[in-house]
A and B are shown apart, each in its own frame.
Chain A
Amino acid sequence: GENVEQHPSTLSVQEGDSAVIKCTYSDSASNYFPWYKQELGKRPQLIIDIRSNVGEKKDQRIAVTLNKTAKHFSLHITETQPEDSAVYFCAASAGNMLTFGGGTRLMVKP
């Protein structure tokens, strides 16, 4: 089955700096790559996703890039703000099952 590795497990940045979270996946058939954000004590919520026919997607301060040849994808957050502090999960899907990475705890220091 699919295996998704996510790095780093924790990331601390200064407010206004950029943050990058990286994921690798194992199943070359995977074609859908979402990112979820989970604030403390809350449910995970989708923040951005990308499909295999696209190399990059942006939504305001967040962007995701995908390299299918290398089987890795990344989340980029620019101009970080304290409200970006949360746990972020990447995921990959080759069908009806979504496999998640282990999560990255992002802390944005004011």
Chain B
Amino acid sequence: KNQVEQSPQSLIILEGKNCTLQCNYTVSPFSNLRWYKQDTGRGPVSLTIMTFSENTKSNGRYTATLDADTKQSSLHITASQLSDSASYICVVSAIPGGFKTIFGAGTRLFVKA
């Protein structure tokens, strides 16, 4: 069964600290993995997208890694800011079609001053 599991479910960190969010998937055959940031009541915003051959991708203070062998991905946030408080969603697409898109339940991150 195609599944995407994220951990932790929620996380509280102090402003300026780093954190790492995890995503494990069983989606097969794999097409791509995306990380989105979603503020409450708003649409998800794409942070990174990685295909099978890409094992790391950075976007400012966000760095995503992908291990296609173990089917794991992580999103590392450096020097967190209050504005990083949001849900972070891992999304995996399967071949063929691409519209076989499986969403993780998300990690809710709270950054406190």
Q: Does B associate with A?
A: no
